[in-house]
Structure 1
């Protein structure tokens, strides 16, 4: 099984807090990888929150290719943060030659465009960079979005943290929202793109489990949106469905759970909203999932969500001390970083429940 976790805080916190959340759950993962998405950044990125941030793991040739491509599109680099890595011998990880996080000013023609146009530009740019780097076997691009940083690596999470000096807490790399996972995608090929969390146009998702309807989801999603690509992991389908329901269709977030795990037909038909639920199931049946899953998601506006499969076959717990909300596969993770919370108020999302944490750290529970 995977192990997943997330943190949402009033004040920006370092990734070491996410590591402290994840490492006590070590028996539940296999030391094959560590990845995180950080949103609402401060520190080194505090002055560039409105400009897109490109997260890369690449080769020197890849850096040149990316620089030429970005210049041709009219992007102007404003700032760059390069981790000072600890390249000691004996670390169990497959390090790339270069890790670069760069903020760019918008191309001049887009400085006065609307938000939707800018979001489409960022998606098309990331997809083009991915194709370019793949063509030359020169690296990986994980996200290109304002106020979002993504890091993925193969190896032992503790060694990855040592390599990137994530334990140093020097204030340069901090954020209010962090989503993390320990374990690579060992059901399929181990590639960096397969590591959770996954990101698309401000939407982040990681999952602990398996989606046995992966092929059906994938075949349908490939016809829905150009951004639904890769499919290195069956859990990517869960992100693409979140993006489709929330951004493309513009439906209330509560319908996400109805799309993933619809109620039994007879029960749905007996409800006041039965006609709506029936239409959802009829039109989006190809997006239903099966198999054990616990899901953590993060939205563009900073709200965080959690839900489970229809049989509640994967663990997930949520706890808060008033200044921080943490989610984890196991309660030992919460005990490590929010020991003073009222444990009686911990939430274990049920099989028909969607939990949403707003930006005031209020928890909302919605039942199907």
Structure 2
């Protein structure tokens, strides 16, 4: 098992707040990995603009750092800001961390006429090229994200120690949404790419549990030949790509993610108001049906947050909060740590049919059931 924590708030806050919540759930992970995603990022001494993007990753050697810097410049990116971490490297076991990169770039001038979708494709193309370059040089570059107002950090170690090692308590780096996963290594070797959350084109997910249907799902996704469906150092990375496929490629509503990964039974669909459509969707996406137990937490580019669970419910998660601040965590004590000034009687633990959504305006939760009717978007 792992432990998950997410906080979403109107007022930007320090990621250290979420790491403190992880400390409250420390019996659920083993220090083999910490992943952090910050969305709606604000730097203390720099304001991001719409034409800026943020690169997050690690240059493991000086040569890799200079190679990446030169390559990004050659692509037309202009460095506008570099976040300098107040590092205490003695707290991190790994020694090959020449430079933690959180750098804001102005996008190439040649992209000025591109649509947001075209820019997303370009950013993905650039991120994949950086990853290939790092792999070609013995893994000397690890790239986590290249996107608007998003920062990702991944490291081996205990959450608070990693936070202290990178000086995350100093308040210079804040965000409106923070996702964190404390990893318990069960099936794979320790690899930074295996730390949750996983990210593609603004979509991020993290999971507590196992996906024993991993191999057929991975093979199906790889067979689509969609850029970015690569890696799979963790079976949970498939959840990110399924969400991307459903919302970006099929352009279906967020609620239908649950219908794809854990479809209703035929007898339930027989009486569902959208039953015929859902039967067809289940057939078309049958290779994407998961086998749990799983709890999946996701965020989208507009800062929407989501929680779903499978029917086994052996990897619990709870959501609670108040208008303006909400939290999702593997344990109630994690929610307590992130939003203590709430009414805990209103905390909610979803059942197997629920999708819990924290909308971007953060006024109240949306709790959606697979048994509810829905309206499909009209074709353009």
**For this structure pair, what is the TM-score category when the shorter chain's length is used for normalisation?**
over 0.9
Does 1:18 find its partner at 2:23? no
For the residue of structure 1 that corresponds to 2:132, the secondary structure is helix
Does 1:293 find its partner at 2:294? yes
Question: 1:60 is matched with which residue?
Answer: 62
CA pair 141-45 structure 1, distance change in 2 beyond 3 A: farther
CA pair 101-184 structure 1, distance change in 2 beyond 3 A: farther
Assess if the C-alpha contact under 8 Å between 2:297 and 2:308 holds in 1: yes
For the residue of structure 2 that corresponds to 1:20, the secondary structure is helix
How far off is 1:46 after superposition? 5.0
Question: 2:47 is matched with which residue?
Answer: 47
Question: 2:134 is matched with which residue?
Answer: 133
Question: 1:202 is matched with which residue?
Answer: 202
Question: C-alpha offsets along residues 150-197 of structure 1, whole Å, 9 cap, x if unaligned?
Answer: 00001222221121112233xx10000111111154421110000001
For the residue of structure 2 that corresponds to 1:222, the secondary structure is helix
Question: 2:373 is matched with which residue?
Answer: none
CA pair 275-8 structure 1, distance change in 2 beyond 3 A: same
Q: Distance in 1 between matches of 2:273 and 2:369?
A: 15
Question: 2:378 is matched with which residue?
Answer: none
Stretch of structure 1 that moved more, 137-146 or 78-87: 78-87
Question: C-alpha offsets along residues 78-128 of structure 1, whole Å, 9 cap, x if unaligned?
Answer: 22112120134xx35325121011111111211121111111100000000
Assess if the C-alpha contact under 8 Å between 1:34 and 1:184 holds in 2: no
Question: 1:87 is matched with which residue?
Answer: 89
Question: C-alpha offsets along residues 215-236 of structure 1, whole Å, 9 cap, x if unaligned?
Answer: 0110000122121110000000
Stretch of structure 1 that moved more, 203-212 or 111-120: 111-120
How far off is 1:72 after superposition? 2.2
Structure 1: segments with no counterpart, 5+ residues? none
Q: How does 1:83-122 map to 2 (within 5 A)?
A: 83-88=85-90, 91-95=91-95, 96-122=97-123
Assess if the C-alpha contact under 8 Å between 1:222 and 1:229 holds in 2: yes
For the residue of structure 2 that corresponds to 1:167, the secondary structure is helix
Assess if the C-alpha contact under 8 Å between 1:184 and 1:190 holds in 2: no
Question: 1:192 is matched with which residue?
Answer: 192
How far off is 1:71 after superposition? 2.0
Structure 2: segments with no counterpart, 5+ residues? 371-380
Question: 1:151 is matched with which residue?
Answer: 153
Assess if the C-alpha contact under 8 Å between 1:93 and 1:156 holds in 2: no
Assess if the C-alpha contact under 8 Å between 2:20 and 2:160 holds in 1: no
How far off is 1:245 after superposition? 0.5
Question: 1:251 is matched with which residue?
Answer: 252
For the residue of structure 1 that corresponds to 2:54, the secondary structure is strand
Q: 2:144 aligns with which of 142, 146, 158?
A: 142
How far off is 1:49 after superposition? 4.0
How far off is 1:321 after superposition? 2.9
Does 1:2 find its partner at 2:2? yes
Assess if the C-alpha contact under 8 Å between 2:292 and 2:310 holds in 1: yes
Runs of 4+ in 1 over 6 A off after TM superposition: none
How far off is 1:356 after superposition? 0.5
Question: 1:76 is matched with which residue?
Answer: 78
Question: 1:37 is matched with which residue?
Answer: 37
Question: C-alpha offsets along residues 315-350 of structure 1, whole Å, 9 cap, x if unaligned?
Answer: 100010323100000001112232221111001011
Q: Distance in 2 between matches of 1:64 and 1:241?
A: 35
CA pair 46-255 structure 1, distance change in 2 beyond 3 A: farther
TM-score normalized by the length of structure 2:
0.93
Question: C-alpha offsets along residues 276-295 of structure 1, whole Å, 9 cap, x if unaligned?
Answer: 11111110001110020001
TM-score normalized by the length of structure 1:
0.96
CA pair 263-211 structure 1, distance change in 2 beyond 3 A: same
Question: 2:165 is matched with which residue?
Answer: 163
Question: 2:355 is matched with which residue?
Answer: 354
Assess if the C-alpha contact under 8 Å between 2:22 and 2:159 holds in 1: no
Q: Distance in 1 between matches of 2:293 and 2:49?
A: 37
Question: 1:215 is matched with which residue?
Answer: 215
